[in-house]
Amino acid sequence: RGPRWSLAPSGREADSAAVATLLNEYRDLRAAGFARPAQQDSFDFRRPDAAVRLLSASQRVLLNVLVDSATEGLWLRADSGGPVYRLDAWMGSRLFPAESGFVVQGSGFRVRGSGA
């Protein structure tokens, strides 16, 4: 059996194949653009629409971003500040899937979209 993954904050065991798919999405993450200075005031990262934090096995932070959504796409920024990156809106479901898509169910796995 490979490495065990868990979901935070619940601590439930995660489907390692679903985690591998998600990590591959982040491995090649590329911005579709950057926020212009005039846009900076319109983002509200104090109350983000989503937040993503990826940790190593030793609990070292690998990625910690905040997300603000808008009609023209998703806007990401490191929790510590810095540049604001734009992602195409379709990336949202791939980068921020529901926890239910990762939960190990009984002796098998719950496959997203299967109705199982």
Q: pTM for the whole thing?
A: 0.71
Sequential pLDDT tens for the chain (116 residues): 556 787 777 778 888 888 889 889 988 888 999 999 888 888 889 999 888 888 887 888 988 999 998 877 899 999 999 999 999 888 888 888 887 888 876 544 444 443 43
Output the CA angle 74-50-62, nearest 5 degrees. 95
The model's pLDDT over 43-57, given as tens digits with 9 standing for 90+, comes to 889 999 888 888 887
